[in-house]
């Protein structure tokens, strides 16, 4: 079980059957009758026992039942959330290339992680290439950047959420047409999502 699970949520005396999703900085629950977003920053206490996750915030207590082994893992992630750069695989010494208009906060985080950053020209020794786009036309660069990848290097396509003119399907199609395999999705920011593509193992 990863970061998504079908479960029961108890809020006060009410119970809801739905899906819980553990994101970068919040826990989201969705059902036909009820939706909730619990920001990690708002959590006052969290505990896990026998597949159940109890979360206390300032105004409410949420009890997620039926999570199984994920309950303890989620508790740890809520208490000790990974940084954005950790989720994207960037760390000290990682050779990172930025293509497009990357937000200043992300660039600052990369520098803090001590990754080796290059912008504009992409070297073939880059271990991670971030293609940041805001419109569908930016996907035309995917095929060109895919040719720069070697071994297990990754192409991350960072695109806006909730925009009809550029959907997840569009991004997936662009990566796959470039001969790559999609392997991971990360909530990049409140406004953007990042999809990770790599060369299929058989073609490395």
Could you say which DSSP state residue 116 is in? E
* pLDDT tens track, the chain, 204 positions: 358 999 999 999 999 999 999 987 899 999 999 999 999 989 999 999 999 999 999 989 999 999 999 999 999 999 998 889 999 999 999 999 999 999 999 999 999 999 999 876 787 889 999 999 999 999 999 999 999 999 999 999 999 998 888 999 999 999 999 999 999 998 899 899 999 999 999 999
* DSSP secondary structure, 91-116, as one string: -TT-EEEEEE---HHHHHHHHHTT-E
> What integer pLDDT is reported at residue 24 of this predicted model?
77
> What integer pLDDT is reported at residue 2 of this predicted model?
55
- Sheet with 14-22: strands ordered across: 35-39, 26-30, 14-22, 4-11, 61-65, 52-57, 43-49
For tokens 């999570």, the residue is: 67
Residues 161 and 193 in one domain: yes
Of 47, 81, 115, the position where a domain reaches its end is 81
The alpha-helical segments, DSSP class H, found in the chain are 70-79, 84-87, 104-112, 141-146, 168-177
Residues 95 and 124 in one domain: yes
Of 81, 103, 129, the position where a domain reaches its end is 81
Token pair listed for 52: 């159940």
Residues 107 and 179 in one domain: yes
Domain ranges, residue 164 = 85-203
| C-alpha 164, offset from chain centre | 20
Count the neighbouring beta carbons within 10 Å of the beta carbon of residue 100: 15
Residues 15 and 114 in one domain: no
Token pair listed for 75: 């508790």
């Amino acid at each position: 079980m990863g970061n998504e699970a079908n479960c029961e949520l108890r809020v006060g005396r009410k119970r809801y059957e739905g899906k819980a999703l553990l994101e970068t900085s919040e826990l989201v629950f969705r059902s036909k009758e009820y939706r909730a977003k619990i920001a990690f920053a708002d959590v006052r206490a969290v505990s896990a026992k026998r597949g159940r996750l109890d979360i206390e915030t300032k105004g409410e207590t949420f009890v997620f039942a039926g999570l199984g082994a994920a309950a303890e893992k989620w508790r740890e992630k809520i208490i000790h959330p990974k940084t954005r750069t950790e989720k994207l695989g960037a760390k000290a010494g990682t050779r990172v290339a930025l293509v497009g208009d990357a937000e200043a906060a992300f660039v600052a985080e990369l520098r803090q992680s001590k990754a080796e950053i290059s912008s504009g020209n992409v070297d073939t020794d880059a271990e991670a290439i971030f293609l940041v786009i805001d419109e569908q036309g930016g996907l035309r660069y995917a095929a060109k950047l895919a040719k720069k990848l070697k071994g297990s290097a990754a192409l991350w396509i960072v695109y806006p959420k909730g925009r009809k003119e550029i959907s997840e399907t569009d991004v997936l199609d662009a990566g796959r047409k470039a001969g790559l395999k999609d392997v991971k999705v990360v909530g990049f920011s409140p406004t953007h999502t990042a999809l990770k593509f790599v060369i299929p193992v058989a073609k490395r």
